[in-house]
Homo-oligomer: A and B are copies of this chain.
Amino acid sequence: MASSGGPEIDQLIQLLARLPGLGPRSARRAVLQLIKKKEQLMIPLSAALDRAVEAVRTCEVCGNVDTRSPCAICSDPRRGETGILVVVEDVADLWALERAGVGAVRYHVLGGVLSPLDGIGPEELLLDELIARAPEFQEVVLAVNATVEGQTTAHYITDRLGPSGIKITRLAHGVPVGGELDYLDEGTLSQALKARTAL
Contacts and interface: CB of A to CB of B under 8 A. Distances in A.
Interface of A: 1, 3-6, 8-9, 11-12, 15-16, 18-22, 25-26, 28-35, 38, 41-46, 48-53, 55-56, 58, 64-68, 71-73, 90-92, 94-95, 98-99, 182
Copies of this chain, tallied across the complex: 2
B65 A32 contact: yes
Secondary structure of the A side of the interface? helix
A20 B33 contact: yes
B20 A72 contact: no
B32 A42 contact: no
Nearest to A18: B41
A32 B90 contact: yes
B41 A4 contact: no
A16 to B, nearest CB: 7
A69 to B, nearest CB: 11
A64 B15 contact: no
A92 B168 CA distance: 54
Contacts of A49: 12, 34, 42, 45-46, 49
B51 A8 contact: yes
A52 B34 contact: yes
Contact of A67 (B8, B32, B41): B8
B92 A28 contact: yes
Given A44-B15, A94-B4, A53 B65 contact: no
